[in-house]
Amino acid sequence: MFLESFSLPGLLTEERRIIEPRISENGGYIDNIYPCKIFSKKGLSEVFFRNITIFYGGNGSGKSTLLNLIAGKLELKRLAPFNSSELFDAYLGCCDYTLGSDDEGFRYRIPNGSSIITSDDIFDYMLAVRVNNAEISEAIEKGKEEYQRVKFGETIKLNSMEGYEDFRTQVQTRRKSLSRRKFLRQRL
């Protein structure tokens, strides 16, 4: 288990080290105190991890925020943007973590290239797959039309080397050994 525990700042730390300094810098005003007071109001100051750790709760309960904080503190790569605020980095600076140890007692290190995969990443990936599939379907339809035209259309006459590729394609397509599936596979 790479991550043993993750510590969050308490209410007093949030006030003195995160919120009050920012209020002073901004002349007494803060737009948004996120992520402050999400966990401290619930009394959550530390999370201990097991082989499988499940975060559960309703919308807005802080599950994604906690994962974003962990990813930020561990400096994990991420594809999708996440919610942030003017206090997020200061809050992150007050968080801490402990890495697990191997059987010989040596602390693990976070492997280079580690990343976080979020539901947004999966959603974006699925949208990209959908667009890609639509483009492939469109290319297949065009390929089927081309196959019909080349196989059953007017015979191409070879008058010069400029038309050689079209002539060669037609000859290969009209062979019994080249099915429409093979034709499409060659084209796509």
pLDDT at position 48 over 90: yes
Comparison of pLDDT for 95 and 154, the residue scoring more: 95
The packing angle between helices 180-187 and 119-152, to 10°, is: 120
Alpha helices in 18-163 (DSSP H): 20-25, 63-73, 88-93, 119-152
pLDDT at position 188 over 80: no
Nearest alpha carbon to residue 29 among 84, 83, 87: 87
**pLDDT at res. 187:** 67
> Quick check: pTM over 0.85?
no
SS3 51: coil
pLDDT at position 176 over 70: no
Contact between 65 and 32 under an 8 Å Cβ cutoff? The reply is no
Give the mean pLDDT of 113-137.
Answer: 84
pLDDT at position 147 over 80: no
The reply to whether omega before 111 is within 30° of 0 (cis) is no
Bridge partners, residue 46, by sequence: 7
**pLDDT at res. 3:** 93
SS3 7: strand
Confidence of residue 128 (pLDDT cuts 50, 70, 90): confident
pLDDT at position 132 over 70: yes
Cα R_g (the chain), whole angstroms: 29
Q: Can you read off the two tokens belonging to residue 177? A: 């050994």
